[in-house]
Structure 1
């Protein structure tokens, strides 16, 4: 076993050990993962159970009512977040692929969260551009789509999330490649562009939290919108 494989196994084991104490068995979410995989969608790139619960707890802690999700895959993270919202809360999930959108709606229905999750189909950037500033503000935006458009998504999230709200951008660790000057991967470049943008933005405060676990070495960017 290579050192990389050994690290992945160690991180996954640690993640699963903690989850065994802190995350209760959930047949519904297990079924969501299984159905997503069965429909040919790469469910492995969805958030992990620990990450899903983190989003859930974060929404509970800020008494969130409205969430914007850019990229929803099979609806796993949308369900975690919807469960944290009050009965009249809403997750607005933007999804490019029709197959993914169909699966999201099926999974959300099976999880009993149809009233809380609205799926908007099509290119996320177009969907965001169509949302007026006057729309009721979101408490949190979770960006987990193509990394090349990270900055564009972030700029729209800023105007759609309330002052004092939160913007989270997933998968910004990229196995450490963002800090590697020899890496020219387009997803890595997308993260770098976002970091450069935020550095010169006086309206937000942000930090990156690097993570290891069942998803390997990655991380998320956490931004506070509307710095005083």
Structure 2
């Protein structure tokens, strides 16, 4: 899995100077190096572009790497609303998106994501693209709340669904192996979603919201 991802990243999605700076800023601020892979980031950009999304909701900002990738997909106007637990992470993410030229197109809501999702629902907000990359134990709850905010035809992407490849069996298990296996089954069989798992990076489920 690592060798395949290394090949894909080298051939199709080498990091540009800006994204390398973002990765360095994450390390310098003592934050975990758990941003999406270069190929996963490029796929996010392509999916936003292909779907012509204008209102993106991101759950988990970290240092802004995925936020930049999402915003790069806008073909014109577009807005990213990013939910992040920690204020310091949101501040770094905003600085990095500002450096990338998207500072005016992103809004951060800090605190518990489940609470902020409910606030967005109560405010009758609507989104046409979602990216879930936060605490894995709440993925199913995040998905259910995102569906309440989703336009028909919206795209929902969730990261780390392969749990390092451990969901496919074998002897290795990881902390989130069973959680991700359960989530993948939930997504695959959800009556409102048409979904597929893309084995890029640590795995992305890509879903389209249907009736």
Structures share fold, TM-score greater than 0.5:
yes
User: Which position in structure 2 is the counterpart of 1:165?
Assistant: 154
Q: Distance in 2 between matches of 1:95 and 1:66?
A: 17
Instruction: Write the deviation string for residues 30-56 of structure 1: whole angstroms up to 9, x where unpaired.
Output: 21111111111122x101222111111
User: Which position in structure 1 is the counterpart of 2:10?
Assistant: 17
Q: Distance in 2 between matches of 1:106 and 1:155?
A: 31
Deviation of the 1:195 alpha carbon:
3.1
- 1:147–1:188 contact (8 Å) kept in structure 2: no
User: Which position in structure 1 is the counterpart of 2:41?
Assistant: 52
Runs of 5+ in structure 2 lacking a partner? Answer: none
Equivalence map 1:1-228=2 (5 Å): 8=2, 10-11=3-4, 13-19=6-12, 26-43=16-33, 45-132=34-121, 135-180=124-169, 186-211=175-200, 215=201, 218-227=202-211
TM-score (norm 2): 0.88
TM-score (norm 1): 0.82
Deviation of the 1:135 alpha carbon:
2.9
SS at match of 2:7: helix
- 2:63–2:96 contact (8 Å) kept in structure 1: yes
Which segment is superposed worse, 65-74 or 192-201? 192-201
Give the CA RMSD over aligned residues. Answer: 2.3
Bigger Rg, structure 1 or 2: 1
- Cα 1:12–1:173 shift into 2, 3 Å: closer
> How many residue pairs were aligned?
211
Instruction: Write the deviation string for residues 49-78 of structure 1: whole angstroms up to 9, x where unpaired.
Output: 221111111111111101011111110110
